[in-house]
Structure 1
Amino acid sequence: MSHSISTLLTRNLSDVFGENDPARRRAAIDELLTEDCVFYESKGVYRGRDEIDRVAGAIRATHPDFRYKPIAEPEELGRGGRIKWVSGRPGEAPAYAGTDFITTRDGRIASIYLFFDELP
């Protein structure tokens, strides 16, 4: 299934890194990410769906009640895009902020780059 870059960006936030249920998270990963997808973040580089599933689950386990909220519309350029977001407990001030950059191939995410930002 092929998705728009904007859809991939928003669903990556909510359905991959924001999903607490392991089965739903894995289904989203299989649908949205290429088999050889790479996730880059300050603590490491994670290659393939299995490794991204593992790290997304580990991240969720540290703060299962946090929600990701886009603070700007997704932006698309060529085969890539970005989305700025904040995360925290619903009803409270955000605890942190970031920007996800992705590249795509055949309507799926081929790479994800996570940058942490200053809180707005």
Structure 2
Amino acid sequence: MTNTISLDSVTFYLDAWNNTDPDARAEAVAAVFTEDARYVDPLADVTGHEAIAALIGGVQQQFPGFVFRPVGEPVAHHDVVRFSWGLGPDGEEPPVIGSDSVVRAADGRVSLVLGFLDRTRPRHA
């Protein structure tokens, strides 16, 4: 594994989270995550492609029209990558900021995600 990761790789990961078509999302999840990948954050703990795709669909239902985008530059060492992301309306200040640490398998796909919510701010009407 390399000690660097491009922002494009993080964008590829976030694209899976932004994919609103269930079939295309399932394909994106399979491309990004290993079959037995585990995703853990303060609100979820799921394992496998179907569960991760369902989690993503649930987040999209909870935050309709919101998109994930990278915040800052990712850092990596060995097989671990850490990066921050924002979730909000496209082109606006994201009300939700988080960071993920991911472990990559030998094939480059994600085998484990440890997610953190760094800032949550309610949406004002």
CA root-mean-square deviation = 1.8
| TM-fit CA distance, 1:74 | 1.6
**Aligned counterpart, 1:89:** 89
Q: TM-score, normalised by structure 2?
A: 0.83
- Structure 1 residues 12-70: Cα deviation after superposition (integer angstroms, max 9, x where no partner): 212x2111111111111111111100000112310111111111111111113111121
CA distance in 2, matches of 1:56, 1:118: 19
- Structure 1 residues 51-103: Cα deviation after superposition (integer angstroms, max 9, x where no partner): 11111111111113111121212211110101111111123321110001100
CA distance in 1, matches of 2:114, 2:9: 13
Aligned 8 A contact 1:9 1:82 in 2:
no
Tell me if 1:56 matches 2:56.
yes
Aligned 8 A contact 2:11 2:69 in 1:
no
Query: Stretches of 4+ moved more than 3 A in 1?
Result: 4-8
Larger Rg over CA atoms: 2
Tell me if 1:47 matches 2:47.
yes
Aligned 8 A contact 1:35 1:49 in 2:
yes
| TM-fit CA distance, 1:8 | 4.2
**Aligned counterpart, 1:112:** 113
CA distance in 1, matches of 2:11, 2:75: 11
Secondary structure of 1:73's aligned partner: strand
Alignment length, in residue pairs? Answer: 115
Structure 2 residue identity aligned to 1:86: G
Q: What is the 5 A alignment of 1:1-120?
A: 5-6=5-6, 7-14=8-15, 16-106=16-106, 107-118=108-119
Q: Percent identity?
A: 27
Gaps of 5+ in 1: none
CA distance in 2, matches of 1:82, 1:118: 17
| TM-fit CA distance, 1:5 | 4.9
Gaps of 5+ in 2: 121-125
